[in-house]
Amino acid sequence: MSAAIIGWAHTPFGKLENETVESLIVQVATAAIKDAGIGPEDVDEIVLGHYNAGFSPQDFTASLVLQADPRLRFKPTTRVENACATGSAAVHQAVKSIRAGQARFVLVVGVEQMTKTPGKEIGQYLLKASYLAEEGDTPNGFAGVFGKIAESYFQRWGDQSDALAAIAAKNHKNGVANPYAQMRKDFGFEFCRNESEKNPFVAGPLKRTDCSLVSDGAAAMVVTDMETALGAKKAIAFRAMAHTQDFLPLSKRDILKFEGCQAAWKQALDKAGLGIFDLDLVETHDCFTIAELIEYEAMGIAAPGQGARAILDGVTTKDGKLPVNPSGGLKSKGHPIGATGVSMHVMSAMQLTGTAGDMQVKDAEVAGIFNMGGAAVANYVSVLQALK
């Protein structure tokens, strides 16, 4: 363990009409620095996670973080991007700077504003996270990509509609307790399972309740070295981290295995000296319910083709053997692309400090995070443990 989180901030996720990318960045950067108990002058480096891809007319956004306080001027600041794993890319970059001794305090910010973009353009921008040379004509954009994945999974392992509905219902139920979530409504299994005017099919077997939400929002945190963290009022250590990058074209891999996800989890758990069930909770990337289902298998909760058992037997419910997405996940919380990975770390840090309110998993001490860019292309795993 060589780095720890000592402060954080999080906006509500949703349709934030009165906000801009800049205002969201300023809000969480200011709050995270204050929460860490340091001043802006103490920050040594800033890393901004912002996907953009056209959502915001303002590109080159790294220096917008400096708008939070003039004392941040001249701090080295970099924007990073790795599709839907952009937030975790920023987090991991911050930890690398701490480990290298290049910084004592690193401010990490993740942000996205998506809802001001017309629906058709949203699909086009998200599809940029796929291999356009082969997948660029996929109907229904990125939802169409995962719709095809779901169809292929059903063909190989049988109809999993019950499992997908159960995952959606679980995450919506969990999201009711999350004050930052975009959709705080318990829809129940039957609504998620059945096609209706309010829950139509979107792509393949995926219905509206199987798809994460288009969102605006931001999250931020301050990372420091272990010695400094021991003197902070709260500290969540990175016990292990892993990042794997897989081929971009779906045609070059067996997409039903999420092999990059599997490799990242194995590397991180091996480094931590833990098994998957040694974790007290997991925040995983449920951009679509089929993704969470396959991730159960990739992380080792279930055997290949048996992911449904993890949800239908209650293993991943909030009171199950390994609660998955007690925050409500992307499905309920929302998915502002650049903010998601940072949000996952903040939500896990809240759990490990016992400050998650109604989301709280009892006696949580170790948490796992999986954040994914594209269809299991960029794969980031963090294992967090409470220090104090």
**Contact of 216 with 14, CB cutoff 8 Å:** yes
Between β-strands 206-207 and 201-203, what pairing exists: parallel, antiparallel or unpaired? Answer: antiparallel
pLDDT band at 56 (very low <50, low <70, confident <90, very high): very high
Residue 62 within any structural domain of the chain: yes
Instruction: With CA atoms as reference, report the closest residue to 294 among 152, 181, 183, 173.
Output: 152
Listing DSSP states for 36-73 in one string gives HT--GGG--EEEEE---TTSSS----GGGGGGG-GGGT
**Contact of 367 with 279, CB cutoff 8 Å:** yes
Q: What is the pLDDT of residue 14?
A: 98
- Residue 162 clears pLDDT 80, i.e. is over it: yes
In the chain, which residue ranges form alpha helices assigned H by DSSP?
Answer: 21-36, 86-99, 119-127, 132-135, 141-157, 161-175, 188-193, 226-229, 259-272, 289-299, 307-312, 329-333, 337-352
Residue 348 within any structural domain of the chain: no
Segment 284-307 shows an average pLDDT of 98
Beta bridge partners of residue 211, listed in sequence order: 288
Segment 24-44 shows an average pLDDT of 98
Residue 222 within any structural domain of the chain: yes
The pLDDT > 70 percentage for the chain reads: 100
Between β-strands 105-113 and 216-225, what pairing exists: parallel, antiparallel or unpaired? Answer: antiparallel
Rounded to two decimals, what is the model's pTM?
0.98
Q: What is the pLDDT of residue 308?
A: 98
Residue 40 amino acid letter: P
Chain-centre distance for alpha carbon 69: 27
**Contact of 206 with 146, CB cutoff 8 Å:** yes
Residue 326 within any structural domain of the chain: no
Q: What is the pLDDT of residue 187?
A: 98
**Contact of 286 with 331, CB cutoff 8 Å:** yes
Sorted by sequence, the CB contacts under 8 Å of residue 45 that are 6+ apart come out as 75, 76, 77, 94, 97, 102, 103, 105, 106, 107
Segment 342-347 shows an average pLDDT of 98
Residue 226 amino acid letter: M
> Residue 221 maps to which CATH number?
3.40.47.10
Q: What is the pLDDT of residue 98?
A: 98
- Which tens digits make up the pLDDT trace of 199-245? 999 999 999 999 999 999 999 999 999 999 999 999 999 999 999 99
Residue 33 within any structural domain of the chain: yes
Segment 161-185 shows an average pLDDT of 98
Query: What gap in Å lies between CA 330 and CA 37, rounded to an integer?
Result: 29
Segment 49-63 shows an average pLDDT of 97
Query: What gap in Å lies between CA 369 and CA 33, rounded to an integer?
Result: 23
Segment 59-81 shows an average pLDDT of 98
**DSSP 8-state symbol, 360:** P
Query: What gap in Å lies between CA 29 and CA 15, rounded to an integer?
Result: 20
Segment 377-387 shows an average pLDDT of 97
Q: What is the pLDDT of residue 7?
A: 98
Residue 87 within any structural domain of the chain: yes
Instruction: With CA atoms as reference, report the closest residue to 95 among 219, 260, 243, 263.
Output: 243
Query: What gap in Å lies between CA 376 and CA 370, rounded to an integer?
Result: 10
Residue 60: give the domain boundaries: 3-116+214-229
Q: What is the pLDDT of residue 215?
A: 98
Q: What is the pLDDT of residue 388?
A: 77
- Which tens digits make up the pLDDT trace of 258-279? 999 999 999 999 999 999 999 9
Residue 322 within any structural domain of the chain: no
Query: What gap in Å lies between CA 49 and CA 91, rounded to an integer?
Result: 8
Angle at alpha carbon of residue 145, lines to 140 and 149, rounded to 5°: 135
Listing DSSP states for 147-214 in one string gives HHHHHHHHHHH---HHHHHHHHHHHHHHHTT-TT-S-----HHHHHHS--SSS-EEETTEEGGGBPPP
Q: What is the pLDDT of residue 122?
A: 94
Give the mean pLDDT of the chain. 97
Between β-strands 3-10 and 236-245, what pairing exists: parallel, antiparallel or unpaired? Answer: antiparallel
Number of domains in the chain: 1
pLDDT band at 82 (very low <50, low <70, confident <90, very high): very high
Residue 101 within any structural domain of the chain: yes
Q: What is the pLDDT of residue 284?
A: 98
pLDDT band at 326 (very low <50, low <70, confident <90, very high): very high
Segment 302-324 shows an average pLDDT of 98
Q: What is the pLDDT of residue 1?
A: 85
Q: What is the pLDDT of residue 124?
A: 93
